Structure 1
């Protein structure tokens, strides 16, 4: 199903954080959103998930008017549109298994959720999600004892438990080292390719956007100023997105690099197959 933003705007008083953004995204694309801090990237994702309300405009997913949802309909959308945050949003005192199974809350009755009762099938699904992310050995550890890279993989496993139709990731690798950043991005691309789930992720590194995303949207001042493929993200487009320094020079892309010894080949035309072997070999 096609996802569509029509003239979506978000105001905070006199400040316009997102300004008349119109974008169409077909089912199954992996989209990277880039731009400077304050460009409106996080606000855009939070409006898609309805964590923030648009001031005007329309958000649609197929025939569903997302921007008009309330009550149960809104809760169902937030189940179907899973969100992964930069700061993980886990419950540190709970074990990893329970954190992952919390992704099922909007699929279950209120009384079952209140009593923290999960079925054998849900527990098996949680273990399978952790195995897929290469961290099943952490299942009984408290989430707060894990490294940042492990916690982000737990957050992805929790999102998988929601059985989402769309996955949003807000700066998912901003606080991670290059190796864990690669593991997390490999996981997001694997979900996109295997399940055919639309993935929209905010990124602060151009090499990552080029390597993993078949489509890149650049924002500046709350507006979309670039929408194209990685090969179209040339120096002129980068300058339009990020501007220039005080001396008029363009940005040095190496300053935003997350490359490691074995970088992922960039996405060119269409999707490339990506296994999860790197997850198994890089378990921490």
Structure 2
């Protein structure tokens, strides 16, 4: 279980996250919603330890990850993969190499410095790309791909970490509705098939309702809603977005991707046993 206990983060006099307490069960797909500046990204970055809490603790599997340092911290950041809105790929490197970079925390420093990857690692990376429907781009420079393709490369790289938790910080905010659907289908497929815990910040309510088992609403750094999609009524939405329930613009809270049937992703055969043996 991922446990967040009375976590606060301050930046000077500004409190970005204010005394947040959450228990996230293994295998849940959780959507975090709220206006810009609500504290969503700061919360995810604290979980991944890109930034430290000012107060409180974060634990996973009995270990207090909010106090880890050195090799133990690197181990947690391997187990807790992060997917960013801006992809964080190396544009000049080919797609395959970008995906292989997800193995860095599993390897020796010498192998990393020499950029030597084994045949099994390369097969694993190709399988991940095949699963996400972009194996044909393996030898292209990552910077030549569309935004939707780059985000799928970032997901493949995250899978190469063999994580226990995936955090996605606004993974579809810069994508068109079709590519947003493809990316969200991929994250839900990973959640369902591998049983991985997925926590994703989302900017549209219909996406959260369609894909997530649990929705957490934040406002002013605090959790103001925590429940299932069926509990997210107009009153709850008003608490999250700080507006009268009848005055929330539809374009702020929805897109066109929710009504379509989620795309089914197919593994490339060897992918699942290959991951199981890592």
The RMSD of aligned alpha carbons is 1.4
Residue in 1 aligned with 2:276? none
Q: In the alignment, is residue 141 of structure 1 matched against residue 140 of structure 2?
A: yes
State the partner residue of 1:163. 162
Equivalent residues in 2 for 1:7-22 (5 A)? 7-22=6-21
CA separation in 2, counterparts of 1:244 and 1:194?
38
- Give matches, 1:59-70, under 5 Å: 59-70=58-69
Q: Number of residues paired by the alignment?
A: 266
Query: Residue in 2 aligned with 1:259?
Result: 256
CA offset digits 1:102-131 (Å, max 9, x no partner): 000000000000000000000000000000
1:200 aligns with 2:199: yes
Partner SS, residue 175 of structure 2: coil
CA distance in 1, matches of 2:208, 2:252: 14
Shift of residue 262, structure 1, vs aligned partner: 5.2
Residue 259 (structure 1) shift: 1.4
Aligned residue for 2:92, secondary structure, equals: coil
2:239 corresponds to 1:250: no
1:253 is displaced (CA, Å) by 2.9
Moved beyond 4 Å, runs of 4+: none
Q: CA deviation at 1:56?
A: 0.5
Q: Is the 8 A contact 1:5 1:23 kept in 2?
A: yes
- Matched residues in 1 for 2:132 and 2:228: separation? 28
Map 1:204-219 → 2, pairs under 5 A: 204-219=203-218
Alignment of 1:70-219 (within 5 A): 70-219=69-218
Query: 1:117 & 1:67 partners in 2: Cα distance?
Result: 32
TM-score (norm. length: structure 1):
0.91
Output one character per residue of 1:29-75: Cα deviation in whole Å (capped at 9) or x when no partner: 00000000000000000000000110010000011110010000000
- Cα separation, 2, equivalents of 1:253 and 1:264: 21
Contact 1:42 1:170 in 2 (8 A): yes
Match in the other structure for 1:224: 223
Q: Distance in 1 between matches of 2:106 and 2:157?
A: 13
Aligned match of 1:270? none
In 2, distance between residues paired with 1:182 and 1:249?
Answer: 28
Q: Is the 8 A contact 1:211 1:264 kept in 2?
A: no
Q: Who is 1:275 aligned against?
A: 264
Deviation at residue 222 of structure 1 after TM alignment? 0.1
CA contact (8 A) 2:206 2:258 kept: no
Which runs of 5 or more residues in structure 1 are unaligned? 266-273, 278-284
Say whether residues 1:24 and 2:13 are aligned partners. no
Q: Does the Cα contact within 8 Å between 1:6 and 1:23 map onto a contact in 2?
A: yes
Q: Indicate how the Cα distance of structure 1 residues 51 and 260 shifts in structure 2: closer, same or farther if over 3 A, else same.
A: closer
Contact 1:21 1:224 in 2 (8 A): yes
Q: Name the residue aligned to 2:235.
A: 236
Distance apart, 1:10 and its partner CA: 0.1
1:257, distance to aligned residue in structure 2 (A) = 2.2
Question: With structure 2 as the length reference, what TM-score do the two structures score?
Answer: 0.93
